[in-house]
Structure 1
Amino acid sequence: MSRLTIVANIKANPDQIDLVKAELLKLIEITRAEAGCINYDLHQDNENPAHFLFYENWESRELWQTHMNAPHLAAYMKATEGAVADFTLNEMTVIG
């Protein structure tokens, strides 16, 4: 198994920052308890409060995929529908 790093950028609509932040915060505790989660850290940009970033490390891509299909992630997607302006996700590998 190869460790997987995920960098997820979430940009909320300016009038939906508080909603998106509250929903993202709900994901932390439950995700950190999932099998394979090494770290799951949420950041908010100091200059642009609408920009959030998750920095995550997982024991394997398979365990991350299980997370991606979890009910709490589906609940987040439903709760923030129409509130997120942009979302990008990068799957990365540590090389040094």
Structure 2
Amino acid sequence: MGKILLTGTMRCAQNEIEDVLSMMAKHIRLSQAEAGCLTFELWQDDLDPRTFHVSEVFRSEAAFEAHQERTRTSDWGRVTSHMARDFQKVQA
């Protein structure tokens, strides 16, 4: 099995921007510390502050699924789970 690459965007409402920003550093730090995480980047769009870009690479499908499970049960997951996402996931 190969690496899992996920890229795309997450979009929040105008009144949710500060909530996302306040949790972002912790979410990045925890994600990067996960076993099997090769890269994890998350940043706010320069032109549209409601849009956040994500680029992540995990060693395997199992590592990616472990990340998804941790995220679902985290504060980040609780606050952002309803937000629109446009992600592309590929196996390399």
Give the TM-score of the pair, scaled to structure 2.
0.84
Are the aligned partners of 1:23 and 1:80 in contact in 2 as well (CA < 8 Å)?
no
RMSD, matched Cα: 1.8
Counterpart secondary structure, 1:34 = coil
Percent identity, aligned pairs only, is: 21
Give the residue type in structure 2 aligned to 1:91. Answer: K
The residue number in structure 2 matching 1:68 is 68
The residue number in structure 2 matching 1:91 is 89
Give the TM-score of the pair, scaled to structure 1.
0.81
Give the whole-Å Cα distance in 1 for the aligned partners of 2:88 and 2:58: 13
The residue number in structure 1 matching 2:31 is 31
Are the aligned partners of 1:38 and 1:59 in contact in 2 as well (CA < 8 Å)?
yes
C-alpha change, 1:60 and 1:40, in structure 2 (3 Å) is same
Structure 2 gaps of 5+ residues are: none
Counterpart secondary structure, 1:47 = coil
Aligned residues: 91
The residue number in structure 2 matching 1:45 is 45
Are the aligned partners of 1:23 and 1:79 in contact in 2 as well (CA < 8 Å)?
no
Which string of whole-angstrom CA distances, capped at 9 and with x for unpartnered residues, describes residues 44-96 of structure 1? 111001100110011111110011111x54221213466x3x112210245xx
C-alpha change, 1:74 and 1:88, in structure 2 (3 Å) is farther
